[in-house]
Structures are given as C-alpha cells and as structure tokens.
Chains A and B, each alone.
Chain A
Amino acid sequence: DIQMTQSPSSLSASVGDRVTITCRASQGINNYLTWYQQKPGKVPKLLIYAASTLQSGVPSRFSGSGYGTDFTLTISSLQPEDVASYYCQKYNSGPLTFGGGTKVEIK
C-alpha cells in the first residue's frame, strides 16, 4: 500500500509568513491528491484537489503543487484564521490514505 508522509508534523510561524507543508507518497499517484483544512473542533474542509486546483471559495493565499510523489501546500501570507491542522489524501486507487497531518500555529 502507498504511504503518505507529511512534514513537518507541526510548525509555528508569524502572521504574514510564507508557510510550506510537504506531502510525499511512497509511490507515484499522478496528481490524485487533495488537501484538507481542519480548524480546532471543526469539520475538515476541502482546500485543494488534483494537487493544485483551489476549491471554490478558498482564499487565493492557499496554493498547491506537485505531481507523482512530492507535493506541497503553501500559504503565501499566514493569517490568524489559518490556525488549523492540514491533511493530504491520495485518491488514485487502493486505500484512500491520509497523511499524518500538520498542525499550524501562530508564533
């Protein structure tokens, strides 16, 4: 089965900082990757699908990139409302595995 590894597991950054989260698949998954945001005590929300397509209504400071095995989620200018855990998920075939998550906090 393909494993999804996210890094870092947590990070602390200042408002306005550029933040990058990585997700690595143990085998190629083309661009079948989503990113979800889960704010504390809330339901996961779809941010990005097909590795780089922004879901409707998601602020443009969020962006995704990558193909094959290496993917990134970038927040261009971190805002207080971005405090959350972020998860990648593969959806090509086999188990629909999530990454372990990255917790983003404000410094």
Chain B
Amino acid sequence: EVQLLESGGDLVQPGGSLRLSCAASGFTFSNYAMSWVRQAPGKGLEWVSSITGSGDSTYYADSVKGRFTISRDSSKNTLYLQMNSLRAEDTAVYYCAKYNSEYYYHYYMDVWGKGTTVTVSS
C-alpha cells in the first residue's frame, strides 16, 4: 500500500526556518515525481513545489520561489521541503503528494499524505 507520512510541522516565528519531511513507502520512490501542496486555514489548495523522480528538475510557485527548496533522498525514501524566511501567510497544512510518473508535467498527483501543520506567528 502506498503511504506518505509528513512530519516537521511546528510553530515558528516570522523570518524563521523549518524543514518538512515526507516518508514514502509502498512504491519505488525514485520512479515518481513528488510535490508539496498547502492549504491555509479555511482556504483552498495551493500547489507549492514539485520535483522529478530523479531530483534533477524542480519547480516552485511564485509565492515561495527563492525561500523554499524541495529535495529528495532516494536512499531514505524521503521528500523534503526546506522553508526559509517564513511569513504569516505561509501558515497552512502542508501535504506531500505522489505523481503517477517520474515527471510532473502532463502527469497528476494520485496519492496524498495526511499533512503536517505549519504555523508562522510571533
């Protein structure tokens, strides 16, 4: 069974940093692109970032470009999101999601984790 388990969410002050992790199991991790999607309290879904299965290509939403970095470690079957210069508007539940291909363009997210909560507040 495909499983994704996020961790690392916390309360952090504005300007602070946080690293989220997503532990994957039940599939060959390096064969699939992965993504982070967030949802602010009471709001809709917002795509944040995607990475190919090999890790050699990444893409970011304008709202996080230059502040967030997506990466993956296939030896640990883990996806990461390094979040720097955090702002109040980054407060959200962060979901990791698996694509149905090693690429993210022209392919879709078919499995989602349960999410981890990030709160940015002083």
Chain A interface residues (CB < 8 Å from chain B): 32, 34, 36, 38, 43-46, 49, 55, 85, 87, 89, 91-93, 95-101
Contact = CB atoms under 8 A, between A and B. Distances in A.
Contacts of A36: 45
A87 B114 CA distance: 17
Contacts of A44: 37, 45, 95, 112
> What is the size category of the interface that chain B forms with chain A?
20 to 34
Given A43-B114, A43-B115, A98 B105 contact: no
A61 B49 CA distance: 32
A104 to B, nearest CB: 14
A68 to B, nearest CB: 16
Please provide the 7 A-B residue pairs with the shortest distance between their CB atoms, ordered closest to farther.
A101-B44, A96-B47, A98-B45, A34-B108, A49-B108, A43-B112, A91-B108
Chain A at the B interface: mostly helix, strand, loop or mixed?
loop
Chain A CB within 10 A, most for which of B46, B105, B108, B110: B108
B113 A91 contact: no
Contacts of A38: 45
Contact of A95 (B37, B47, B113): B47
Given A34-B109, A43-B95, A43-B113, A95 B62 contact: yes
Nearest to A95: B61
Nearest to A45: B112
